[in-house]
């Protein structure tokens, strides 16, 4: 009887403990609670078997045996139900966590990747598939760093992941880090990522958020290159302006000033002769001739500064005048014009820029090239004004000229400076026959 009372007491205690654990707020791991309850149920079933063995030997009366057997059966059933309840809650939370990660990953605009404590991929969202080229089936189960990080950067990437800590006690926050990436097809990309940790069923997992910043890095590099080019072009333009001023000063001093001094001396001599009552030996026509020369010099200086015809008759007529003058000075070179714009379609600030580009390009073609045909086109299409100058010579001597690409940037640097500094695009190259092909364009 004492054994029976002990079994009944222990059964009651296990029953109370099982019920309490099943519905309590004790914050133990669901797996631990489930296994405790299941172990209690198995232990109680063992006692129940022992009781049956004792009853068969006549050690317990039938009434007491029935009561104890019923109590232990009830306790066993309740412990099984409680353990199953805990297991169900564990699996439900696990499914909820995985499903939440999957839903968040599927709706995110960035690549969301989850790895376990071994660095093996367990979640791979559609954005990650598009970014790196691997399907979910190809990515899951593989190590993240070996899949998307170039070999030369894997060590540093692993160190950054290891610093999170295996107990999920630390997360990487703050400024996202950059890492080189590689797509399935071998294309190199630059990605920016942040990482944090989460504990799922007692195991820490890393949640990576990757963003492809390849286009942004390329744009930044282009901006740096453009800024450097603009700085260089600005310096060249300053030097060019200073050189133009030097040429202008030299022309004024050596040409205009000396002619005016000569006229001054002629006039002084005439005045002295008249004052002395003597006959002046010189001819007034010589003074007139020198004055005409001065007028031409002044006109040349004014044209070099800004052709007055741009304001008087417009850009198109000025270009035609320039081409006629060029034909007159270089009769062996034929100029073909194609001016498919109206005066109003070219913005006023661009007119002097376009004229100077044409002027300097023609001068450099004469200086450096051996040509007999030049094609000049000025067009506007889809909001873009384009100047095209082509050296159409078929001279066989150009066969070797195509090798001298680097010389073009130096020889036609003034045209490039004017186009770039006015907000346009500039391109110059050699054609198949060796002649130059220049394009300057502006969005207007």
| Per-residue model confidence (pLDDT) at position 403 | 45
Same-domain check for residues 350 and 444: yes
| pLDDT of 46 | 64
Sort strands 203-212 and 334-340 into parallel, antiparallel or unpaired. Answer: unpaired
Picking from 101, 131, 161, the residue at the C-terminal end of a domain is 101
Identify whether residues 438 and 315 lie together within a single domain: yes
Give the DSSP H/E element, type plus range, for residue 163.
Answer: none
Q: In terms of domains, do 127 and 74 share one?
A: no
The first and second tokens of residue 429, run together, are: 């190259």
Domain boundary at 305, 331, 360, which?
305
Query: Residue 337 pairs with which residues in a beta bridge?
Result: 376
pLDDT at 388: 94
User: 7 with 55, same domain?
Assistant: yes
Per-residue buried b or exposed e for 212-234, using 16+ beta carbons within 10 Å of the residue's own CB:
bbeeeeeeeeeeeeeeeeeeebe
Last residue of a domain, which of 243, 271, 305? 305
Q: Is the domain of 285 the same as that of 387? A: no
Between CA 69 and CA 331 the distance in angstroms is 126
Give residue 357's pLDDT: 92
- The pLDDT of residue 55: 67
Q: Which two tokens stand for residue 329?
A: 């000075």
Residues 260 and 189 in one domain: no
User: Taking the C-alpha atoms of 349, 345, 355 and 405 in order, what is their torsion angle to the nearest 10 degrees?
Assistant: 100
Q: Measured between alpha carbons, how far is residue 417 from residues 34, 355, 388, 440 in Å?
A: 79, 14, 16, 11
Residues 337 and 427 in one domain: yes
Q: Are 75 and 169 in the same domain? A: no
Residue 129 belongs to a domain with what CATH number? 3.30.450.20
* Residues 205 and 293 grouped into a single domain: no
Q: What per-residue confidence (pLDDT) applies to 57? A: 64
The pLDDT value recorded for residue 113 is 87
Instruction: Quote the pLDDT of residue 171.
Output: 47
**pLDDT of amino acid 401:** 47
d(CA 327, CA 332) in angstroms, rounded, equals: 8
For 144, the domain range is 109-212
Q: Looking at the structure, do residues 336 and 293 belong to the same domain, yes or no?
A: no
Quick check: 357 and 417 in contact, CB under 8 A? Answer: no
Domain co-membership, 383 together with 264: no
* pTM of this prediction exceeds 0.85: no
Per-residue model confidence (pLDDT) at position 168:
41
The domain total for the chain is 4
Residues 311 and 301 in one domain: no
pLDDT in tens, the chain (444 residues): 455 556 556 655 655 665 565 566 554 455 556 656 666 666 666 666 666 766 666 666 666 666 666 666 666 666 666 666 666 666 666 666 566 556 555 555 788 888 888 889 988 888 899 899 999 899 999 999 889 998 888 888 887 766 654 444 444 445 678 888 889 998 889 888 888 887 766 678 888 889 888 888 888 888 888 777 767 766 666 666 656 666 666 666 666 666 777 777 777 777 777 777 665 555 666 666 766 766 666 656 655 556 767 778 889 999 999 999 899 999 989 999 999 999 999 998 898 889 989 988 998 888 877 788 899 999 999 999 999 999 876 554 544 444 455 577 778 888 888 888 788 999 988 877 778 889 999 998
């Amino acid at each position: 009887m004492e054994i029976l009372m002990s079994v009944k007491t222990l059964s009651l205690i296990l029953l109370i403990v099982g019920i309490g654990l099943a519905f309590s707020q004790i914050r133990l791991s669901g797996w631990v609670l489930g296994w405790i309850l299941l172990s209690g149920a198995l232990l109680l079933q063992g006692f129940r078997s022992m009781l049956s063995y004792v009853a068969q030997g006549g050690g317990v009366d039938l009434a007491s045996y029935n009561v104890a057997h019923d109590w232990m059966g009830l306790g066993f059933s309740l412990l099984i139900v409680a353990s199953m309840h805990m297991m169900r809650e564990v699996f439900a939370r696990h499914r909820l966590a995985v499903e939440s990660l999957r839903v968040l990953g599927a709706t995110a605009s960035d690549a969301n990747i989850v790895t376990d404590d071994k660095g093996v991929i367990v979640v791979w969202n559609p954005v990650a598939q598009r970014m790196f080229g691997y399907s979910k089936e190809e990515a899951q189960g593989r190590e993240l760093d070996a899949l998307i990080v170039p070999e030369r950067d894997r060590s540093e990437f692993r160190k950054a992941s290891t610093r999170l800590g295996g107990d999920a006690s630390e997360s990487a926050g703050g400024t996202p880090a950059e890492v080189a990436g590689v797509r399935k097809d071998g294309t190199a990309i630059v990605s920016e990522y942040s990482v944090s940790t989460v504990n799922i069923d007692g195991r820490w997992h890393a949640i990576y958020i990757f963003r492809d910043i390849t286009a942004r890095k390329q744009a930044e590099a282009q901006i740096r290159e453009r800024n450097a080019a603009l700085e260089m072009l600005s310096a060249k333009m300053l030097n060019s302006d200073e050189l133009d001023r030097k040429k202008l000063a030299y022309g004024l001093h050596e040409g205009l000033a000396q002619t005016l001094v000569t006229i001054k001396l002629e006039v002084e001599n005439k005045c002295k002769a008249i004052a002395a009552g003597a006959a002046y030996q010189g001819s007034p026509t010589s003074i007139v001739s020198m004055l005409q020369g001065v007028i031409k010099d002044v006109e040349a200086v004014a044209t070099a500064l800004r052709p007055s015809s741009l304001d008087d008759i417009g850009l198109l007529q000025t270009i035609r005048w320039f081409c006629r003058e060029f034909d007159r000075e270089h009769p062996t070179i034929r100029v073909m014009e194609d001016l498919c714009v109206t005066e109003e379609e070219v913005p006023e600030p661009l007119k002097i820029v376009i004229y100077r580009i044409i002027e300097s390009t023609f001068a450099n073609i004469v200086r450096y090239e051996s040509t007999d045909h030049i094609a000049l086109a000025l067009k506007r299409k889809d909001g873009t004004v384009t100047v095209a100058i082509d050296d159409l010579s078929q001279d066989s001597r150009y066969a070797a000229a195509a090798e001298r690409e680097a010389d073009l940037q130096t020889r036609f640097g003034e045209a490039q400076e004017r186009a770039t500094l006015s907000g346009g695009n500039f391109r110059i190259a050699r054609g198949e026959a060796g002649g130059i092909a220049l394009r300057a364009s502006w969005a207007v």
